Amino acid sequence: MRSTTVTRDFHIKLGRHPNLEKHLGNLEQEFAGRSELGLLHAALIVLIRREVCLEIALTEFLSMWSRIAENLCKELDLRWLVSACDTFADHAQDEASRSRALLASAVANTVKLYETERRAINAPHLAREGAERMYASPQVVLFDGVTRYGVVRGDMIRNLLGRIDRLNADCSDSVQRLTVEVINRVLVNDTVFRRFAALHTNEATRWDIIRRT
């Protein structure tokens, strides 16, 4: 299935169609031009969420990640990597795997909310002058005692990624591999993490992708 391409016209239709067959048909269009492996993975997640043949679908999902996690990390886009995280968070047998998967999903979905708002208000990219002005500003509280991030020199992002790195240092199982992949996708694409990295001036607190496998 990794070498077989879905032959459909590309179209993304968001939302849940009440008819399972039509929903899976919409899914095929989303994976047009991509491998059938990714489509199968997405279909299993749909079945799991709808609790259709739940035991069989969940067994197949876990088997895929146990056997070919590396391939799935290469084949799937971030949307479906996060969906995989959510599935592990809901159904993984051990608490550590559920926690790791939920962490990766929470980071990616928080960035999704931020980037959605930024586009909705048509906010321009933050320029270095603005970042430095904000860093020097005495107005530091955002809400409820939470202080704003110091874009040019702050250490919050580096510390956060360091903790995630240590949590997944050995990448000994598929959930750890998935978690690392999701966080790294958020870091390398055009997101707040990458844009802030371009404005960061303190070498001691710079960040990069977390540990590669």
Quote the pLDDT of residue 44: 97
212 band by pLDDT with thresholds 50, 70 and 90: low
Using H for helix, E for strand and C for coil, what is the string for the chain? Answer: CCCCECCCCCCCCCCCCCCHHHHHHHHHHHCCCCEHHHHHHHHHHHHHHHCCCHHHHHHHHHHHHHHHHHHHHHHCCHHHHHHHHHHHHHHCCCHHHHHHHHHHHHHHHHHHHHHHHHHHCCCCCCCHHHHHHHHHCCCCEEECCEECCCCCCCCHHHHHHHHHHHHCCCCCCHHHHHHHHHHHHHHHCCCHHHHHHHHCCCHHHCCCCCCCC
Query: Which of 33-37, 91-95, 147-151, 185-189 is predicted least confidently?
Result: 33-37
Mean pLDDT of 67-71: 94
Average model confidence (pLDDT) for the chain?
89
List the chain domain ranges. Answer: 1-76, 95-213
